[in-house]
A and B are shown apart, each in its own frame.
Chain A
Amino acid sequence: MDLKMKVNHLPALTYRFLKSNDSEIDLKDINIEDTVSPDPEDVPSGVTVEKNVSEADVAKLFQAAKDKIKSKDKGLAGPNGDTFPLNKGQIIRSGMGIEVDNLMDEMKVLSTVITAGEGVKATEPIHIRYSLADGDCTLGRQVICAKKDSEITVIMEYDSEAEANGLLGISTRLLAEEGAKINLIKVQMLSEKQVHFDDIGGVVDDRADIDVITMQLGAGKTWHGCCVNLLGKNSVFNNHTGYLCRHEQTYDMNYIADQYGEKTESNMVFRGVLLDKAEKTFRGTLDFKAGSSGSVGDEQEDTLLLSPDVINRTVPVILCQEEDVDGRHGATIGQLGDDTLFYMQSRGIDEDSAKKLMIRARMESIARMIPDEAIIVRIQQFIRTIL
């Protein structure tokens, strides 16, 4: 089959010449055979796993959240160039948008639902591993549900044989009920011949928390979207993304914090390195909806450019329909500072080694947040290998 999808719509469109309003996935003649998610490993007690759950049943899980979003809609005009209506048909809004859902539905991909029962604090992480062989074209869907006052950590790791061709497309939806916490970690170390997309949509209820950590290190072309709906009062979304793109890798991302509830908090950090002819597009949006009084949001992007041939696009958006909020974003894009280089060289480290050191430090500042030492070591090895 041929695969053509428009994804990662900027929540409010801007100038066409910036080529950042959306992105197209255009793949010819692919053969998607595998649509079964791997079994989660290390499932602690109090956590249940249900496989092959239909979209109709997933929709029921999110119905209350969807109703709550509807009830908060005050019918006010959206931003200029509003793309929100494009994805209204989704069970829950995701970063990449409805066309990922449509593909998954068309390919009859069923979900694996992982649920932490009420009050369960699962301290040890659950692992989901995708290991792709040459030619594998795989789609997968997961739902992670944390019931009231529970906590769950899920680590998803994607790797492949070196030089393996193929496609890995993932959709993960998150539901954190009142007082619950979901920690989701995604580590992508696929071969550069792989095409990869990864879509996240989440809902956070009162006092609940979703923390996402992402390491994007491999794959030739990557699309990544994440939208978290902060519905409840005092709900929190934290995101930390680290990425390393080299050769002719492309990385296209779309992160959205939809802040509906009162006193919600979002904090998004993006730290990356571009080498060779790598190309990256970053879209990050804080959307303070009417009624989100007392909310705060912060997004910070820090990109290190280490080649004259890289392309870096950045669109950090703040949308605001509420007076009593505090939103900010900052971006720092450039090469290694002369002071840093000088310091390193004065310590006997040559320029090339200094750059490698800074790349590793940057990546490890995110990787170190992963609560699994073995994965951190694998990330370090992967970075050492590619550098």
Chain B
Amino acid sequence: MSDNNKTVVDIDRSVYDIKDVENEQDFYRMEDGFTEDIVRKISEEKHDPEWMKEFRLNSLKLYNELEMPDWGPDTDELDMNLISSYVRSKTDMKGKWEDVPEDIKNTFERLGIPEAERESLAGVGAQYDSELVYHNVKDEVADQGVVYTDMESALTGEYADMVHEYFMKLVPPTDHKYAALHGAVWSGGSFVYVPKGVKVDIPLQSYFRLNAAGAGQFEHTLIIVDEGADLHFIEGCSAPKYNVANLHAGCVELFVKKNARLRYSTIENWSKNMYNLNTKRALVEEGARMEWVSGSFGSHTSYLYPMTILKGDHSTMEYTGITFAGKGQNLDTGAKVVHQGKYTSSLISTKSISKSGGIGTYRSSVIINKEAKHAKTSVSCDSLMLDSISRADTIPGMDIRTDDADVGHEAKIGRISDEAVFYLMSRGLSEEDARAMIVSGFANPVSKELPLEYAVEMNNLIKLEMSGG
């Protein structure tokens, strides 16, 4: 093996790393830290209804009481007193792309968001720091009654009651410390409602960009897919790299009603100074289906385990995920599922790749409750080590409380086999291309679940990784 292939360098992420200078004239920045005064100020800034103000203050109280988990990556270097909870451009959200301020527009242009909207999306939301700067949904989709709007508008507009009914009911602030923090300082995010029986043929997408140094992003995504409806929602995230810590503690709550289907795809490419402490949860009712596709490429530290509660009989879920942990990264990712209804089934399939000293941990839980008769679950996790200075750990947990369940679990950990490389080289490939091809093949079950443009992007990332350039 040549040394070239032993040295795997970081992804070329220059396009994501272009920083836009945020001056006081154009941007409003809340002072650093998380205090009652700050929470009150955010609430005031956002013209919260009274219940939301109380909700924020109670959440802050919980945040101060709850402890950090002792089982995940170390977060000691994240100094919460140096994080600003709220940064926004002094411009309102726009419904037309040409109205978005030039510097922000340039950032999203570089990331290809408007182009994607034109070509393959039903609607787009673009959040810059703490607030959405652009939101648009195609007329034909809006005409079907699909609601796709920013959370703030939903909170005070015609969907206020619906938001009040669902907001942080699935992920209550008592869930964990960062869910409580989210409840206290949340800002931005999207609200989606797909009416009964409506099938949205092309995906909706939200893109989150955290541009400010030393800031937190706490967007809230609330999606309700009503009975028999169908939606594919894509979430993308990125940030330029700073040498101070940034924090992302978003929250995603998904309600999939009877016989509905929701696919939620995420490409996470935060910069490597980001602490990504995100919470995602779906409640799936009778006969409904939840599909997660998740790619974790960025962040310094991640805690990310999308959870599915299979509440209704015959409800199903499928989770397909891939995690790349490179130099300086500690990515602790996986999935959680709770089987509650009868004849429910879950399928979890993950891949993780560790390289250049990165730590990749697959962590999961499968709970089958006593009532979940005839539940079926299958978990498969594969890890690939690309060198001997990295870590790849697999920590799955299962709690089965009925005999009437069928549980299968398998995990594998290994390396690229020399025989496979040799075989491909004997067919005329260079060693570098052979290794890249093997890693692409390893990631294929995930990339084939992604929309084409994302799959191409992922394969490009793999090639970049493997070529050392």
- A residues contacting B by CB (< 8 A) are 12-21, 76-77, 79-81, 274, 288, 290, 293, 305-335
- Are A308 and B396 in touch, CB under 8 angstroms? no
CB-CB under 8 A from B391, the residues of chain A are: 76-77, 79, 319-321
Give the Cβ gap from A11 to chain B, nearest Cβ, in Å.
9
The one of A12, A322, A328, A332 that contacts B411, using a Cβ cutoff of 8 Å = A328
- Are B397 and A290 in touch, CB under 8 angstroms? no
| CB-contacts of B181-231 with A (<8 A) | none
Given contacts A308-B404, A320-B392, A321-B391, contact A14 B412 (CB under 8 A): no
- Are A322 and B385 in touch, CB under 8 angstroms? yes
- Are A327 and B413 in touch, CB under 8 angstroms? yes
CB-CB under 8 A from B410, the residues of chain A are: 328-331
Residue in chain B with minimal CB distance to A335: B403
A-B contact pairs, 16 of them (CB 8 A): A12-B71, A12-B393, A14-B71, A15-B69, A15-B365, A80-B330, A80-B332, A81-B72, A307-B403, A318-B411, A320-B413, A323-B390, A327-B412, A327-B413, A333-B398, A335-B403
- Are B409 and A305 in touch, CB under 8 angstroms? no
Give the Cβ gap from A314 to chain B, nearest Cβ, in Å.
4
Cα separation A14 to B393 with both chains bound (whole Å): 12
The one of A13, A77, A325, A333 that contacts B415, using a Cβ cutoff of 8 Å = A325
| CB-contacts of B364-417 with A (<8 A) | 365, 370, 383, 385-415
Residue in chain B with minimal CB distance to A336: B403
Cα separation A315 to B397 with both chains bound (whole Å): 4
Given contacts A14-B397, A315-B398, A317-B394, contact A333 B388 (CB under 8 A): no
- Are B411 and A329 in touch, CB under 8 angstroms? yes
- Are B365 and A18 in touch, CB under 8 angstroms? yes
The one of B387, B388, B399, B414 that contacts A312, using a Cβ cutoff of 8 Å = B399
Given contacts A12-B393, A334-B407, contact A311 B388 (CB under 8 A): no
- Are A327 and B401 in touch, CB under 8 angstroms? no
- Are A314 and B397 in touch, CB under 8 angstroms? yes
Cα separation A327 to B395 with both chains bound (whole Å): 13
Q: Decide yes or no whether B363 CB sits under 8 A from chain A.
A: yes
Give the Cβ gap from A355 to chain B, nearest Cβ, in Å.
11
Cα separation A245 to B332 with both chains bound (whole Å): 35
- Are A328 and B400 in touch, CB under 8 angstroms? no
Q: Decide yes or no whether B101 CB sits under 8 A from chain A.
A: no
- Are B401 and A310 in touch, CB under 8 angstroms? yes
Q: Decide yes or no whether B329 CB sits under 8 A from chain A.
A: no
Residue in chain B with minimal CB distance to A19: B399
- Are A20 and B401 in touch, CB under 8 angstroms? no
Best-buried of B370, B411, B415 by chain A (most CB within 10 Å): B411
Give the Cβ gap from A146 to chain B, nearest Cβ, in Å.
31
Cα separation A127 to B404 with both chains bound (whole Å): 41
Give the Cβ gap from B327 to chain A, nearest Cβ, in Å.
13
Give the Cβ gap from A83 to chain B, nearest Cβ, in Å.
10
- Are B397 and A20 in touch, CB under 8 angstroms? yes
Give the Cβ gap from A211 to chain B, nearest Cβ, in Å.
24
Cα separation A125 to B407 with both chains bound (whole Å): 39
| CB-contacts of B402-445 with A (<8 A) | 402-415
Best-buried of B72, B393, B398, B399 by chain A (most CB within 10 Å): B393
Give the Cβ gap from B334 to chain A, nearest Cβ, in Å.
10
Give the Cβ gap from B70 to chain A, nearest Cβ, in Å.
6
| CB-contacts of B277-319 with A (<8 A) | none
Residue in chain A with minimal CB distance to B417: A326
CB-CB under 8 A from A334, the residues of chain B are: 403, 405-407
- Are A317 and B385 in touch, CB under 8 angstroms? no
- Are A326 and B414 in touch, CB under 8 angstroms? yes
Residue in chain B with minimal CB distance to A330: B410
- Are B370 and A290 in touch, CB under 8 angstroms? no
CB-CB under 8 A from A311, the residues of chain B are: 399-401
Residue in chain B with minimal CB distance to A81: B71
Give the Cβ gap from A298 to chain B, nearest Cβ, in Å.
10
Give the Cβ gap from B7 to chain A, nearest Cβ, in Å.
13
CB-CB under 8 A from B332, the residues of chain A are: 80
CB-CB under 8 A from B73, the residues of chain A are: 80
CB-CB under 8 A from B171, the residues of chain A are: none
- Are A16 and B71 in touch, CB under 8 angstroms? yes
CB-CB under 8 A from A327, the residues of chain B are: 412-414
Interface 1/0 per residue, B331-367 and A, CB below 8 Å:
0100010000000000000000000000101010100
